[in-house]
Amino acid sequence: MTKLHSHGSSLPIPSFPHSLIAASPAPPFTITMGRMDRPALCVQCRARPVDPAWRPFCSRRCQVFDQARWGEGAYRVPGRPAAADDTDPSVTDGKQYQVPIIDGTIRATDLKQIKVGDEDVGLATYDPAFMNTAACRSRITYIDGDKGVLLYRGYPIEQLAEESTYLETAYLILFGELPDERQLAEWTHQITMHTMVHENIKKFMEGFTYDAHPMGVFVSTVAALSTFYTDGKQIFDDQARLRQIHRLIAKVPTIAAYAFRHSIGRPYVYPDNELSFTGNFLNMLFKMTELKYQPNPALERALDILFILHADHEQNCSTSAMRSIGSSHVDPFSALAGAAAALYGPLHGGANEAVLRMLKEIESTDNIPAFIKRVKAGDGRLMGFGHRVYKSYDPRAKIIKKAAYEVFEVTGKNPLLDIALELERIALEDEYFVTRKLYPNVDFYSGLIYQAMGFQMDMFPVLFAIARTVGWVAQWEEMLLDSEQKISRPRQIYTGAQPRDYVGMTERRK
């Protein structure tokens, strides 16, 4: 058994007690290695516990697979021969190891000193989906999920959504401080001057069929930018790197708008440099025959707020993909295409679409009690509630809910709003959901707003990608400049066959 002994009090983190933030080193743990009675595992997959007195396999599938490999009754542990030491989980008793605690963490490589044999490479940690692993140090975004806190560079998301603009927030995320008037003017000018895309990009996008998913078009086109801007490979040249950041933030709205227009069979609309970042995006989306498109101020501001709320969110799936791909020192266009592809998945960027489908399925407020009953019985899921990080009300959800009413004053109320409000009320009062800390998240209302503004549901992840681009490139640059970072290469636990000789076709078992 492994015992952890603390030689001091917990880390002095007065404001954020549940989080991994930089602090003075704490006294180290002493790890004592001893005997542990571990549960028996399936001899084939080595993943699920079994009762060895009944059978050594967790399923019929594992039994058939193992017998096909080794023969009936020849039970083997994948990766090594069956031996007495496999059933004896004891390790050397009494050894102690000092493991320092820094910033509320221990370094995984410090565990390599713990070995149970002369040929052992050292202890590793097993953490599927990175549930309790910090892969980097970051100064960009802070989240306290228990308290519902989200900070960009130390600034509360509520204040930024109320006072800032997307481009100002983007500057903050990238450079660490809010810009002064001169800096903001120069930053806005650089983004505005890079909104145009090469005419061959337009031709490239025209090659997609009319019903191609806009996110698939977006991912492919962003990747294609790497062939147009070959200086993107100069990732350690400060000026070249900043130039690619300008290009990406400026061009992703243009690509997204072109993908939208392509999907509905309308001609592409060129950027209007006299409009704001979100105003220009609305122009490229919805301009018809008028000489000058004038965005509605309420919709323009609502979109700005939505982009601020989605600008970054710590080490999520797509951000981790951006860092991992970028660690190979590929150009940022290719890395961002990979991050956007991760966002394409329904568990990440498609959550607000799932909320709308759920609300449409409910149809009426009268059907909510029956729907809630089915969810409790395990026959359905309450979409838009709960979050991997937040164990209280998602702070972004409160802001979006307020913005939704402002949008509906312009567009008219979304017919699904009454269902959403009643569903939220019931869920927040129901002990079943409260005890499980299932509160509305950012996706619960964002889909309603996007739909009211005229976006079809397959555009939702594209809108998410526009907003998240600044977070991706900020995290990418931080990774590049971090001297501790190397190419991403996680360890694995091998559960396959032990070494064996090649078997000829005629000798293989059917």
Residues contacting 245, CB < 8 A, separation 6+: 174, 332, 473, 477
CATH architecture of the domain formed by 351-452: Orthogonal Bundle (1.10)
Return the pLDDT at 73. 44
Model pLDDT, residue 39 = 55
- What HEC string does 217-252 produce? HHHHHHHHHHHHCHHHHCCCCHHHHHHHHHHHHHHH
Structure confidence by residue, pLDDT tens digits, 105-116: 889 988 888 887
For the chain, give the longest Cα–Cα distance: 83
- Both structure tokens of 380: 């359905």
**Domain extent listing, the chain:** 156-345+458-480, 351-452
At residue 123 the predicted structure's pLDDT band, cuts being 50, 70 and 90, is confident
Chain segment 425-473, per-residue pLDDT in tens: 888 888 888 888 888 888 888 889 999 999 999 999 999 999 999 999 9
98 secondary structure, DSSP code: E
Average pLDDT over residues 232-242: 97
Q: Would the pLDDT of 16 be above 60?
A: no
Least reliable range by pLDDT among 9-23, 227-241, 358-372: 9-23
Percentages helix, strand, coil for the chain (3-state, rounded to 5) are 50, 5, 45
Q: Do domains 156-345+458-480 and 351-452 have the same CATH topology?
A: no
Do the beta carbons of residue 439 and residue 386 sit within 8 Å?
yes
Q: What is the pLDDT of residue 58?
A: 73
**CATH topology for the 156-345+458-480 domain:** Citrate Synthase; domain 1 (1.10.580)
> How high is the mean pLDDT of the chain?
85
Query: Taking 80 as the threshold, does the pLDDT of residue 359 lie above it?
Result: yes
Query: Average of pLDDT values for 92-114?
Result: 81
Q: Is residue 4 within 8 Å of residue 118, measured between CB atoms?
A: no
* DSSP-assigned letter for residue 485: -
Q: What is the pLDDT of residue 62?
A: 67
Residue 15 banded pLDDT, cuts 50, 70, 90:
very low
Please give the model's pTM, rounded to 2 decimal places.
Answer: 0.81
pLDDT of 253 over the 90 cut: yes
**Contact assessment for residue 397 and residue 441, using Cβ atoms and an 8 Å cutoff:** yes
Tell how far CA 159 is from the center of its chain: 23
Q: Is the pLDDT of residue 369 over 70?
A: yes
pLDDT band for position 42 (50/70/90)? Answer: confident
- Fill in the amino acid letter for 72: E
Pairwise CA distance, residues 78 & 33, whole Å: 25
Q: What is the pLDDT of residues 257-281, one digit of tens each?
A: 999 999 999 999 999 999 999 999 9
Please compute the mean of the pLDDT values over residues 127-131 and round it to a whole number.
Answer: 90
pLDDT bin (cut points 50, 70, 90) of residue 241 is very high
Q: What is the pLDDT of residue 93?
A: 44
Active site residues: 348, 387, 443
For 273-311, what is each residue's pLDDT tens digit? 999 999 999 999 999 999 999 999 999 999 999 999 999
Q: What is the pLDDT of residues 52-75, one digit of tens each?
A: 555 667 766 666 555 555 444 443
pLDDT tens figures, 396-412: 888 988 898 899 999 99
* Beta partners for residue 156, in sequence order: 151
Q: Which of 257-261, 388-392, 488-492 has the highest mean pLDDT?
A: 257-261
